Structure 1
């Protein structure tokens, strides 16, 4: 072997192809957004009719931070089996990956109990949310979602001239299903529900939600974003996927970014009625944006039940620790069934971010309901202890 050559085994052993390299684009986008807000002296990074996000201080080199608790990433993933499958599949990178994608689709439809024409793949669930908005809101209309809500789908709908009708969560932080149903009119194109919700980390009762979706989807499509579903106490049993088999006009998105720890590898899927998915796929395709190595990693991860269970338990343990610490400080976070927490802070959001970033800990801060909030992703137990040590000196 020459000095310019390296064997397959040696390349895999040394790990020249790393998962970290795949995450550059999202972080660069975020960093550029922060820089733009700072250049223009904007107090808020993003502004919406009912909630805003504070602009953080100069975004640090993420390789130097002590706790990266900003994007709800899984600190334990991807699994070793997924990493091995990814690396090995690189050597087939000269070929298109239709066959392996078809195999993964078959595995997913078996798990979810849907038909082959009721699934659409994509490079992450956010991509599928945005493509749905792109198709449904070409001629305007309105979208109904929670206040606050994950804004990816909503923002695209608004960019096409759609109107957002935000409905404040109930006092126990669930979707106000009655108010959402009452808000539907002849211009409503979609009802969008994130369950568990982001950025609040809270869950809406599955039985009530299923009844709502079954009833309302006869009037207008309902999109249920289940990105964090696997972290909930009841796991997949909280899913609305059975509504698809019942022929309801619903869409459900799932992702490998969270529990599977594959945020930088970009893969997710959307389940829904055949007619609705056909309408979306006439304009845009999802599977074209997924690489063969990512497909292989996702398939391997689905089979690694030990990794998934272990990850969930570690996240729960760190979340319970952080929740208890906050309560001992006299701070009550919203009840979480995800890999993040949100809690009120009694200080300016920019000031809070300045102080915690100075400690090389990155989180997010919002303002809504006349209150400032910190949203912190759940990292390793070590990272969460660094976080609690820091806020014990900041929030005094």
Structure 2
């Protein structure tokens, strides 16, 4: 039996359960997955055909750690303007927020150069990735994406009845666009690209990617997840949003979780063709899970360009400090265009996590390409010093 044979309510229940079990997610869901893996003596918290994540020791109370470098968060939080807007909007919490959400959609449309019917809102971009997968793969099909890749969309596609075609990154850690195009077949429902990629932090050449998306989207939809793009050196100049404006069958997602520092407030949006977004909205409406104060905070944050520039500058300073340290120690890290760095470690990933957690530094460890890796998010300079001191003690 495939998912199309199930009653709609049972099918949605199946997908919701699978999303909770499989999708790489932060906060409580991730901590619960850690506990389950520990209880079952699992070496890997998540295990995929080409990409595994090591199970850390017991997850700590994050208020007690010295360096919270685990989920690629902005250590500087939301801007003061966003925080005040959030606080002020609480007093309208007895009202539904459709009017303010529509105002934000209009603001985003102007910012992105698209029409309002080419925008779908959601509580974070991962929610929109998962909704897209839920709709597109309910009757099977395959998704082509990088090896490794951010697994949220892929995991839900597989849970819905689809399959995954992983394509290894090139030698310089970019998406192998030629191989991805060659992998497309009659069952391909979507090509998924994360740019900059997660967990590698690497950026694919803008000119080549734009050409790829323009051509390939004539055959199959292309989804470009740009959650980290504002933090890249090129910023939104490297975005594929102009292809959406031109009517191409391309999805682009952005989140307020990264440069805007609003990961806990949950806000994101997706750009796409009008009819493609309408098909997703038929099954699972965008915008339903967004609180009014979050809408107000997002709108205010978009206006606070001084704060956003400050965040980008400080995150770059932390990245430069960390890469200089890794250079000095002789680590061959992947070139980072965002707020995290991944580098190889020559010890077992779970043993590494045990030792670094003991030093109250929280990071993640993965295994792919027959190599163990540490992925460290960029925190404050003080947090990065805790991290480098810990590495000095562990990886001697």
Alignment TM class, shorter chain as reference: over 0.9
How far apart are the structure 2 equivalents of 1:341 and 1:375?
6
How far apart are the structure 1 equivalents of 2:179 and 2:27?
37
C-alpha contact 2:196 2:203 (8 A) present in aligned 1: yes
Deviations 1:153-186 (A, max 9, x none): 0000000111100000000000000000000000
Tell me the matched-pair count: 372
* CA positional deviation for 1:286: 1.2
Structure 2 equivalent of residue 191 of structure 1:
191
How far apart are the structure 1 equivalents of 2:341 and 2:350?
19
User: Is 2:211 the counterpart of 1:211?
Assistant: yes
How far apart are the structure 2 equivalents of 1:27 and 1:201?
21
How far apart are the structure 2 equivalents of 1:245 and 1:55?
42
How far apart are the structure 1 equivalents of 2:26 and 2:72?
13
Structure 2 equivalent of residue 274 of structure 1:
274
Structure 2 equivalent of residue 132 of structure 1:
132
Structure 2 equivalent of residue 223 of structure 1:
223
Structure 2 equivalent of residue 60 of structure 1:
60
Deviations 1:246-302 (A, max 9, x none): 111010000000000000000000000111111111111111110000000000000
* CA positional deviation for 1:26: 4.9
How far apart are the structure 1 equivalents of 2:299 and 2:188?
37
1:101 is paired with a residue of what secondary structure?
Answer: helix
User: Is 2:360 the counterpart of 1:360?
Assistant: yes
How far apart are the structure 2 equivalents of 1:31 and 1:173?
29
User: Tell me, which stretches of 5 or more residues in structure 1 are unaligned?
Assistant: 1-24
* CA positional deviation for 1:46: 0.2
2:266 is paired with a residue of what secondary structure?
Answer: coil
- In the TM superposition, structure 1's runs of 4+ consecutive aligned residues that sit over 3 Å from their partners are none
How far apart are the structure 1 equivalents of 2:35 and 2:77?
29
How far apart are the structure 2 equivalents of 1:295 and 1:333?
37
2:230 is paired with a residue of what secondary structure?
Answer: helix
How far apart are the structure 2 equivalents of 1:88 and 1:39?
44
What is the 5 A alignment of 1:289-304? 289-304=289-304
Question: Which deviates more from structure 2 when the two are superposed, residues 303-312 or residues 275-284?
Answer: 275-284
User: Tell me, which stretches of 5 or more residues in structure 2 are unaligned?
Assistant: 1-24
1:282 is paired with a residue of what secondary structure?
Answer: helix
How far apart are the structure 2 equivalents of 1:139 and 1:212?
26
Structure 1 equivalent of residue 20 of structure 2:
none
How far apart are the structure 2 equivalents of 1:221 and 1:27?
31
What is the 5 A alignment of 1:1-396? 26-396=26-396
1:106 is paired with a residue of what secondary structure?
Answer: helix
C-alpha contact 2:26 2:71 (8 A) present in aligned 1: no
C-alpha contact 2:174 2:204 (8 A) present in aligned 1: yes
How far apart are the structure 2 equivalents of 1:34 and 1:117?
40
C-alpha contact 2:71 2:377 (8 A) present in aligned 1: yes
TM-score by length of 2: 0.93
* RMSD between superposed Cα atoms in Å: 0.8
Structure 2 equivalent of residue 7 of structure 1:
none
TM-score by length of 1: 0.93
1:288 is paired with a residue of what secondary structure?
Answer: coil
